[in-house]
């Protein structure tokens, strides 16, 4: 067993199986208290209702839902953040999820005029402007195009972690980092549609427009549209959820979520950007000198430990599994490091699943908690060589008023009680 | 449009030829998908406006006319003077505050282009009753918002013709994303793994602010 002074013991396979450690390990896992007079476990010795009586038959639940014991696993909002829930945000419960795919019903929501409930038979996608053939498509038309693909991408709101610029504020990774989800999309490349309409030589920018009551618009450079954007109708194998843009949305891999226009109804081709509301008054990054960056599309490399975290405190001394997610809008996550002592010493985390470009990556670090205070952080590195900065490093460049693109390293303080708090450290 | 139809009919003719199944595998068969957008359809949806005025409808509106619409349809949330009610956004004031500790980002202090006001009001306002304003009302509301932000005086009338001559104070306040140069030092660093700092102090705590929603609080039990 190797340890350090910070409450963390490296938990290796050798130690777990070793003869000297066997008794300790069994005790730590709660495998039998060693007392011969212990009362037998009623969960074992009593026949439970579900083991005696018949359960629901097939078709009683024609669309399956999570167990009733999971009803606390839901999106939540922070009411004081916004004036109206119709133009607000709900957050993904990252601390209760695992793997890399976000269940469709738990993907965070950001609406600017509520959820549009659209009859797909009445939905149209128009391509107009600087194209040879201004065209109207139905959903059925899109499904008949050659070249359909499925791709897994993260979608992060540019304002994710935006409340944390001036210091630790919200207690929970759901609230500090929950404006992200990771989904498999199915649709056709936007390039296919644009080539079908024939972009004119002077076409350099697109305006993507939603069919909701905000008529959301964003300008998108043609190069990105031709590179990897998709028009999709499915997520995780089924139709998009209404709150995610049913019946069709734009997918803009690696770029800020506001550009992934939901309820997509129109794409206009032009020769200049439009400088609309969501790319001027919002989604621009005000720096300390009073000037602002615009068109900050790419989401930089970022990571967060989801367990332990304020909503997922440590409940057991002994063996524990740290878990978290990492992502980069510039490419593929190459490595993730974790620290238990606030960044004095780090170790490599273990990647526990698929490593895909522009997708969440799941990492783990097994450790043994001896009940001392921990300061937990994670640090992501992507394949462009970008190393996730500390919040202080970000503030030195950007000040505290940029709202968007806060990808700084997150710290959780685990107390001796296991209670975990959002903090910032020196 | 006629060109479109002729392409479709050529595709239909090809379908009858022996070689057609091979052709059907090619993306070129796609002209059969979709249909031409009609001018009235494009006019109904293509309402966007650019900084150079492209997309503006004919019309005009005065500060006075705009004040009437604003008072009836906008002031309940944005305030009579654009100061913002509760958590609804302030849209006037804040001039010269962009490098303050708490900046006031409004049309007058922050927004770069008049066209953004016109486009946004036209497509999304009033909140909950979008696209219900006539073009002259949008001109008027835009003129009134310029007046509230001390960009024009109270006799001003905004028209399609004079639109491009009106400038917002912070038009020069933006520049394109420069992270790859200004933040170049975040690339290519060898991450420190051992003895990276002498000591670690907690500098701020979320619990001091205590703003997390109520049902997320409560102490756990440890065994």
pLDDT-derived band at B32, boundaries 50, 70, 90? confident
Asked if the structure places residue B175 within a domain, the reply is: no
Q: Which residues of A touch B49 (CB under 8 A)?
A: 274
Number of domains in chain B: 2
Could you say which of B165, B184, B202 is where a domain stops? Answer: B165
Average pLDDT over every residue of A149-176: 97
Q: State ipTM.
A: 0.90
B86 and B121 both lie in a single domain: yes
Asked if the structure places residue B222 within a domain, the reply is: no
pLDDT-derived band at A313, boundaries 50, 70, 90? very high
Q: Which residues of B touch A346 (CB under 8 A)?
A: 191-194, 196
In this prediction, what percent of chain B has a pLDDT beyond 70?
83
Please tell me which residue of chain A has the smallest CA distance to B77.
A83
pLDDT for the residue B30:
56
- Using CB atoms within 10 Å of the CB of residue A119, give its burial: 0 to 12 exposed, 13 to 18 middle, 19+ buried: exposed
Q: Which residues of B touch A409 (CB under 8 A)?
A: none
Q: Which CATH code of 3.90.420.10, 3.40.190.10, 3.20.20.70, 3.90.700.10 fits the domain covering A104-293?
A: 3.90.420.10
Asked if the structure places residue B215 within a domain, the reply is: no
Mutate to test the interface with A, among B2, B6, B29, B37 (most CBs of A within 10 A): B37
Parse chain A into domains and list their residue ranges.
104-293, 302-423
Asked if the structure places residue B124 within a domain, the reply is: yes
B91 and B154 both lie in a single domain: yes
Asked if the structure places residue B44 within a domain, the reply is: no
Average pLDDT over every residue of A289-294: 97
Asked if the structure places residue B31 within a domain, the reply is: yes
Per-residue pLDDT tens for B82-110?
999 999 999 999 999 999 999 999 999 99
Per-residue pLDDT tens for A17-27?
433 333 344 44
Per-residue pLDDT tens for A331-341?
999 999 999 99
Rounded to 10 degrees, what is the CA torsion of B87, B88, B91, B97? 10
B68 and B126 both lie in a single domain: yes
Paired residues of B180 in beta bridges: none
**Residue B64: which CATH number?**
1.10.760.10
Q: Range of B104's domain?
A: 60-165
pLDDT beyond 50 at B10: no
Name the token pair of A310. 């304020």
Nearest-CB residue to A385 (from B42, B128, B187): B187
Least confident span in A192-206, A398-412, B200-214: B200-214
Name the token pair of A285. 């990054």
The CATH code of the domain at A302-423 is 2.60.40.650
Name the token pair of A50. 């579900």
In this prediction, what percent of chain B has a pLDDT beyond 90?
78
In terms of C-beta distances under 8 Å and separation of at least 24 residues, what long-range contacts does A96-100 make, across chains too?
A: A96/A72, A96/A311, A96/A312, A97/A73, A97/A306, A98/A323, A98/A362, A99/A353, A99/A362, A100/A152, A100/A182, A100/A325, A100/A353, A100/A354, A100/A356, A100/A359, A100/A360, A100/A361, A100/A362
Average pLDDT over every residue of A237-265: 98
Could you say which of B165, B193, B215 is where a domain stops? Answer: B165
B32 and B65 both lie in a single domain: no
Q: Which residues of B touch A419 (CB under 8 A)?
A: 219-220
pLDDT for the residue B204:
92
Q: Are A378 and A324 in contact (CB under 8 A)?
A: yes
Whether the CB of B191 is below 8 Å from some CB of chain A: the reply is: yes
Q: Which of A348, A189, A73, A175 has the alpha carbon at shortest distance from B214? A: A175
Could you say which of B139, B165, B191 is where a domain stops? Answer: B165
pLDDT-derived band at A37, boundaries 50, 70, 90? confident
B22 and B110 both lie in a single domain: no
Asked if the structure places residue B198 within a domain, the reply is: no
């Amino acid at each position: 067993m190797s340890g350090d002074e910070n409450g963390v013991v490296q938990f290796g396979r050798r130690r777990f199986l070793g003869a000297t450690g066997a008794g300790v390990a069994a005790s730590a896992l709660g495998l039998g208290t060693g007392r011969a007079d212990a009362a037998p476990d009623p969960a074992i010795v009593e026949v439970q209702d579900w083991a005696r009586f018949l359960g629901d038959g097939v078709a009683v639940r024609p669309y399956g839902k999570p167990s009733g014991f999971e009803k606390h696993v839901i999106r939540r909002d922070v009411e004081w953040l916004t004036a109206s829930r119709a133009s607000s945000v709900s957050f993904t419960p990252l601390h209760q999820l695992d793997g890399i795919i976000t269940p469709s019903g738990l993907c965070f929501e950001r609406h600017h005029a509520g959820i549009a409930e659209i009859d797909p038979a009445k939905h149209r996608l128009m391509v107009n402007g600087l194209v040879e053939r201004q065209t109207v498509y139905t959903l059925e038309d899109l499904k008949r195009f050659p070249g359909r693909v499925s791709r897994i991408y993260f979608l992060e709101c540019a304002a994710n972690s935006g409340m944390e610029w001036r210091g630790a504020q919200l207690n929970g990774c759901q609230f500090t980092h929950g404006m992200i989800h990771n989904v498999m999309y199915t649709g056709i490349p936007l390039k296919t549609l644009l080539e079908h309409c024939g972009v004119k030589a002077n076409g350099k920018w697109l305006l993507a427009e939603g069919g909701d009551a905000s008529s959301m618009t964003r300008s998108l450079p043609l190069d990105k549209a031709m590179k990897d954007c998709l028009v999709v109708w499915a997520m995780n194998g089924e139709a998009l959820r209404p709150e995610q843009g049913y019946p069709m949305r734009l997918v803009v891999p690696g770029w800020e979520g506001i550009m992934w226009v939901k309820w997509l109804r129109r794409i206009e081709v032009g020769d200049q950007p439009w400088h609309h509301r969501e790319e001027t008054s919002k989604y621009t990054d005000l720096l300390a000198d009073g000037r602002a960056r615009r068109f900050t599309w790419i989401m930089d490399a970022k990571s967060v430990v989801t367990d332990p975290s304020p909503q997922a405190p440590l409940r057991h001394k002994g063996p524990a599994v740290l878990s978290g997610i990492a992502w980069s809008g510039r490419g593929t996550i190459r490595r993730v490091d974790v620290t238990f002592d606030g960044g004095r010493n780090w170790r490599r985390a273990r990647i526990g699943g698929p490593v895909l470009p522009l997708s969440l990556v799941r990492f783990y670090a097994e450790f043994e908690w001896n009940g001392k205070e921990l300061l937990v952080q994670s640090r992501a590195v992507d394949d462009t060589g970008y190393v996730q900065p500390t919040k202080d490093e970000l503030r030195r460049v950007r000040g505290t008023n940029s709202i968007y693109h806060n990808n700084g390293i997150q710290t959780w303080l685990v107390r001796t009680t296991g209670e975990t708090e959002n903090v910032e450290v020196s | 449009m006629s060109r479109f139809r002729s392409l479709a009919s050529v595709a239909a003719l090809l379908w009858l030829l022996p070689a057609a199944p091979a052709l059907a595998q090619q993306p070129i068969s796609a002209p059969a998908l979709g249909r031409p957008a009609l001018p009235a359809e494009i006019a109904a949806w293509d309402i966007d406006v650019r900084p150079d005025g492209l997309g503006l409808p004919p019309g005009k509106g005065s500060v006075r006319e705009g004040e009437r619409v604003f008072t009836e349809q906008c002031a309940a949330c944005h305030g009579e003077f654009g100061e913002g009610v509760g958590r609804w956004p302030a849209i006037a004031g804040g001039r010269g505050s962009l490098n303050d500790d708490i900046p006031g980002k409004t049309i007058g202090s922050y927004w770069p282009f008049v066209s953004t006001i016109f486009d946004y009001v036209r497509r999304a306002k009033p909140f909950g009753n979008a696209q219900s304003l006539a073009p002259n009302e949008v001109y008027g509301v835009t003129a009134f918002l310029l007046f509230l932000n001390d960009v024009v005086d109270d006799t001003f009338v905004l028209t399609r013709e004079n639109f491009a001559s009106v400038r917002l104070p912070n038009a020069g306040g933006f520049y394109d994303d420069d992270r790859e140069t200004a933040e170049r030092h975040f690339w290519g660093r060898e991450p420190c793994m051992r003895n990276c700092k002498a000591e670690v102090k907690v500098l701020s705590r979320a619990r001091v602010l205590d703003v997390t929603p109520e049902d997320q609080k409560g102490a756990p039990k440890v065994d």
